[in-house]
Amino acid sequence: MSEFRWNPSDRNQGGGGEFDFKFPPPQKVFPLLWGVALLALLAWGVVSGYYTVEANEEAVVLRLGKLHSVNGPGFHGKIPFGIDKVFKGEVKAVHRAEFGYRTLSAGVKSQYDYTSPRVVAEATMLTGDLNMAMVNWEVRYKIRNLTDYLFEVRNPVETLRAVSEAVMRTEVGDRSVDEVLTLDRTAISEVVGKKMQAELDTFRCGIHIVKVNLKRVDPPDAVRKAFNRVNQAIQVRDRIINEAEGMRNKKIPAARGAKERAVKEAEGYRIGRVNRAKGDAERFLSVLAEYKKAEDVTRRRLYLESMAKLLPKIGEVTLIDSKDAGLLKMLNLDRAKGGGQ
């Protein structure tokens, strides 16, 4: 090591003091430097010789540029000095990609951006009936294969965004504006998720689509009031149709019940008349059979029975012999009035 000497008397005499440096010989310096470098290298190796994988992560280890292993959560060792390189990814977390809007701040009252040029360009779409619609949606996804996610595609997130936008524009372009705004929202979300998964599997992105949520679908600002009026008219129409359907459902069962009751009454009347007619016919046939057995007696009996029923209803009857046709009949016409003879 270097040596120096300082003489205080020199300072008292106004001098600047005396420093006398003496460097050690090289054969002593080089071993010391090598020792310091070796200690620093060992410290670096110890520090970089391990890594930690969190509970929701996986780690891919490349050894000299080639895939060596895929490790789960925990404490792991590796070869330092850049021989082993570790790449981590959150494979159990659900990631989210936003389209047509951006979340500026999340919380109880989240704030969103719907007006920036890129956001507006994503949201503006042409429907199948040549109308414009502003479509906002999000894609929730997970990393299914970390190796594919890291090494098969240069930028898997941008690939997912490109695929999602292309598929969504295709599905919106195949439907009318009414279907996009109200009728087919659920169907669009399901179809877009399935087609996105098929495309990403083709590219080997290592991504699993959890769900596609259609957040907002609105007409452009320039025609939004007109669309709202149309929607209000549709709601009024649907309400009137529902009321008419309810009235029909009440009237038709009542009419059917009245019809069934009339039919049953007519059936009963018919059966009664038929039965009475059959009874009368059978009674007449039985009388006819007895009449044929004794026609003269039966004829007299029927005559007498008929006269017994009719004569009490006639009142007074005057019988004149046919031989007295030339005689003047003197009738007591006043007897009915209580007069004389």
Name all domains of the chain by residue range, CATH numbers in brackets.
1-47 (no CATH), 50-91 (no CATH), 95-219 (3.30.479.30)
- pLDDT above 70 covers a percentage of the chain that reads 80
pLDDT in tens, 221-278: 777 788 788 778 988 999 999 999 999 898 898 888 899 999 999 999 999 999 999 9
Highest mean pLDDT out of 21-25, 88-92, 228-232: 88-92
Predicted confidence band of residue 326 (pLDDT cuts 50, 70, 90): low
What pLDDT does 28 receive? 66
140 CB-near residues (< 8 Å, 6+ apart): 94, 95, 96, 209, 210, 211, 212, 213
Tell me how far CA of residue 219 lies from CA of 131, 212, 266, in angstroms.
9, 21, 62
Predicted confidence band of residue 323 (pLDDT cuts 50, 70, 90): low
Contact 215, 138 (CB under 8 A): yes
Q: Where is pLDDT greater, at 15 or 174? A: 174
Contact 119, 113 (CB under 8 A): yes
User: Which neighbouring-strand residues pair with 76?
Assistant: 51
**pLDDT of 211 strictly over 90:** yes
What pLDDT does 294 receive? 76
Lowest mean pLDDT among 2-6, 115-119, 213-217: 2-6
**Which helix (H) or strand (E) element contains residue 136?**
strand 132-143
Averaged pLDDT for residues 61-67 = 90
Averaged pLDDT for residues 139-151 = 95
What pLDDT does 310 receive? 81
Give the burial class of 143: count Cβ atoms within 10 A of its Cβ; 0-12 exposed, 13-18 middle, 19 or more buried.
buried
What pLDDT does 59 receive? 93
Averaged pLDDT for residues 133-143 = 94
Q: Where is pLDDT greater, at 64 or 328? A: 64
Averaged pLDDT for residues 313-341 = 58
User: Which neighbouring-strand residues pair with 218?
Assistant: 134
- Give the C-alpha separation, 61 to 68, whole Å: 5
Contact 100, 134 (CB under 8 A): yes
Give the count of beta carbons closer than 10 Å to the beta carbon of residue 157: 14
Q: Whole-structure pTM over 0.85, yes or no?
A: no
What pLDDT does 141 receive? 97
- Give the C-alpha separation, 341 to 339, whole Å: 7
86 CB-near residues (< 8 Å, 6+ apart): 51, 59, 60, 61, 62, 78
- Give the C-alpha separation, 234 to 181, whole Å: 13
What pLDDT does 20 receive? 54
pLDDT in tens, 34-45: 776 777 766 666
Averaged pLDDT for residues 180-193 = 90
